[in-house]
Amino acid sequence: MSRVCGAEKGQSRLQCLADLLSVPQIPVFNRKNKPVSQAKVGDTVRMNYTGTLNNGNQFDSSEGRDPLEFVLGSGQIIKGLDAAIAGMAVGDTKTVNVPCAEAYGDHNPDARQAIPRGEIPDTIPLEVGTQLQMQTPQGQVVPVTVAEVTETEVTLDANHPLAGQDLTFAIEIMGIDSV
């Protein structure tokens, strides 16, 4: 397929190259001259990752474990990370900055609820930071964290622990099973 690029179309060389690279018919080959599979929605992807906060503190990593396996575009991982993986190939590495809106959302003050201490059984540990599970009237299980304890009340927080945080992931694609 012949393409016209350059000044006659009013394009810079950079724009022309960008157009050419986005043509899906151009195959990508690895060093062994075999076509490289690029991740697309519906593919099963395996990746190693390290997640850090803006202050550099690590909150999670696949180090010492099997790579994380998920179906791209299925909602199994956070939206911002999912979107960044499309088009990557096995062996590719990338650092991805995910704003909180594309991760676990903003911290929602309405997701905190004070409950009279007497309504919580004595057998449940009530130390700040303890993670518990509650059940909604519809039967849905909701993870909560004990946020505050007084003599009369226990405040439970249903926000994800990383809500309100921008996240950074260093990722490496380890495998792709195409659909």
Segment 84-121, tens digit of pLDDT:
999 999 999 999 999 999 999 999 999 999 999 999 99
State the CATH class of domain 36-107+166-179: alpha beta
- Residue 17 has a pLDDT of 54
More confident residue, 60 or 134: 60
Alpha-carbon span 134 to 158, nearest angstrom? 9
Fold of the domain built from segment(s) 109-157: Thrombin, subunit H (2.40.10)
Residues of the chain with CATH 2.40.10.330: 109-157
The model carries a pTM of 0.71
CA distances from 125 to 72, 130, 151, 155, 171 (A): 38, 7, 14, 13, 37
Do residues 95 and 167 lie in contact, with contact meaning Cβ atoms separated by under 8 Å?
A: no
Confidence of residue 136 (pLDDT cuts 50, 70, 90): confident
For residues 22-42, give the mean pLDDT: 64
Alpha-carbon span 158 to 65, nearest angstrom? 28
The amino acid at 41: V
Residue 156 in this model has a pLDDT that exceeds 80: yes
